[in-house]
Chain A
Amino acid sequence: MTTEQEKIELQQTPLLKIWVPWLGIGGCKISRRRGSSVPQLTNSPTLIVMVGLPARGKTYISKKLTRYLNWIGFPTKVFNLGQYRRDAVQTYKNFEFFRQDNKEAMQIRKACASNALKDICIYFSKENGQVAVFDATNTTRERRVSIVSFAKEKGYKVFFVESICDDPDIIAQNITEVKVSSPDYVNCDKEEALADFLKRIECYKQTYVPLDDEKDRNLSYIKIFDVGSRYLVNRVQDHIQSRIVYYLMNIHVTPRSIYLTRHGESELNLLGRIGGDSGLSPRGHKYAASLGSFLKGQNIKDLKVWTSHMKRTIQTAEHLGVPYEQWKALNEIDAGVCEELTYEEIQEKHPEEFALRDQDKYRYRYPKGESYEDLVHRLEPVIMELERQENVLVVCHQAVMRCLLAYLLDKTSDELPYLKCPLHTVLRLTPVAYGCKMENIFLNVEAVNTHRERPVNVDVTRDPAEALKTIPDHF
Chain B
Amino acid sequence: MRDHLLAVRSEKAPCQTTIAEAIMSSREVGPSNSASPRELTQNPLKKIWMPLPCKNGLPEKHISQRKVCMTNCPTLIVTVGLPARGKTYISKKLTRYLNWIGVPTREFNVGQYRRECVKIYKSFEFFRPDNEEGLKIRQQCASAALNDVRQYLADEGGQVAVFDATNTTRERRQTITAFAEQNGFKVFFVESVCEDPVVIAENIVQVKLGSPDYMNCNTEEAMEDFKKRIECYENSYETLDEVWDRHLSYIKIIDVGRRYLVNQVQDHIQSRIVYYLMNIHITPRSIYLCRHGESDLNVKGCIGGDSGLSPRGREFAKYLGKFIESQDISDLKVWTSQMKRTIQTAEAVSVPYEQWKALNEIDAGVCEEMMYEEIQQHYPLEFALRDQDKYRYRYPKGESYEDLVQRLEPVIMELERQENVLVICHQAVMRCLLAYFLDKTAEELPYLKCPLHTVLKLTPVAYGCKVESIFLNVDAVNTHRDRPENVEVSRMAEEALLTVPAHQ
Contact = CB atoms under 8 A, between A and B. Distances in A.
B258 interface: yes
Interface in A366-420: 368, 374, 377, 385, 388
Interface string A59-71: 0000000000000
Listed residue (B261, B308, B339) with the most chain A CB atoms within 10 angstroms of its CB? B261
B357 A235 contact: no
Given A233-B259, A324-B28, A329-B66, A8 B38 contact: no
Interface string B304-335: 00101100001001100000000000000001
B69 to A, nearest CB: 12
Given A318-B37, A388-B271, A328 B66 contact: yes
A233 B260 contact: yes
A10 B343 contact: yes
Interface stretch (B130-138, B188-196, B345-353, B439-447): B345-353
A40 B275 CA distance: 20
Given A8-B309, A314-B40, A245 B353 contact: no
A57 B40 CA distance: 47
A292 B64 CA distance: 21
Given A292-B34, A329-B66, A388 B414 contact: no
A322 B28 CA distance: 10
B263 interface: yes
A315 B39 CA distance: 8
A364 to B, nearest CB: 15
A234 B34 CA distance: 51
Contacts of A245: 278
B31 A18 contact: no
Given A10-B308, A326-B66, A388 B338 contact: no
Interface in B329-378: 335, 338-340, 343-344, 347-348, 352-357, 368
A242 interface: yes
B309 to A, nearest CB: 7
B265 A319 contact: no
A38 interface: yes
Contacts of A328: 65-66, 403, 406
Nearest to B308: A10
B152 to A, nearest CB: 25
A288 B36 CA distance: 12
Interface string B424-446: 00000000000000000000000
A236 B253 CA distance: 13
B49 A321 contact: no
Given A249-B274, A288-B37, A39 B355 contact: yes
Interface string B10-43: 0000000000000000001111111001101010
Contacts of B271: 246, 249-250, 388
Given A18-B338, A318-B51, A326-B64, A242 B354 contact: no
Interface residues of A, number: 64
Contacts of B414: 39, 41, 239
A285 interface: yes
Contacts of B406: 328
Interface residues of B, number: 62
A229 B264 contact: yes
A231 B29 CA distance: 36
B357 A374 contact: yes
B262 interface: yes
Given A8-B348, A39-B356, A323 B268 contact: no
A320 B59 CA distance: 20
B470 interface: no
B268 A385 contact: yes
B279 interface: yes
Contacts of A385: 70, 268
B48 interface: yes
Interface stretch (A29-37, A48-56, A427-435): A29-37
Contact of B40 (A4, A10, A40, A311): A311
Listed residue (B38, B47, B259) with the most chain A CB atoms within 10 angstroms of its CB? B259
A385 B344 CA distance: 37
A322 B30 CA distance: 7
B347 A8 contact: yes
Listed residue (A19, A238, A279, A320) with the most chain B CB atoms within 10 angstroms of its CB? A19
Contacts of A150: none
A230 B317 contact: no
Given A249-B274, A250-B271, A18 B28 contact: no
Interface of A: 4-5, 7-8, 10, 12, 17-19, 21, 32-35, 37-41, 217, 229-236, 238-239, 242, 245-246, 249-250, 279, 285, 288-289, 292-293, 309-311, 314-315, 318-329, 339, 368, 374, 377, 385, 388
Interface of B: 28-34, 37-38, 40, 42, 47-49, 51, 64-66, 70, 242, 246, 258-265, 267-268, 271, 274-275, 278-279, 306, 308-309, 314, 317-318, 335, 338-340, 343-344, 347-348, 352-357, 368, 397, 403, 406, 414, 417
Give me the 7 closest cross-chain CB pairs, A-B, nearest first. A35-B355, A323-B28, A318-B37, A39-B354, A233-B260, A231-B262, A321-B34
Given A231-B260, A318-B51, 17 more contacts: A8-B309, A10-B347, A17-B338, A32-B352, A33-B354, A35-B355, A35-B356, A37-B357, A232-B262, A233-B260, A236-B278, A289-B34, A311-B42, A314-B49, A318-B40, A323-B29, A385-B268
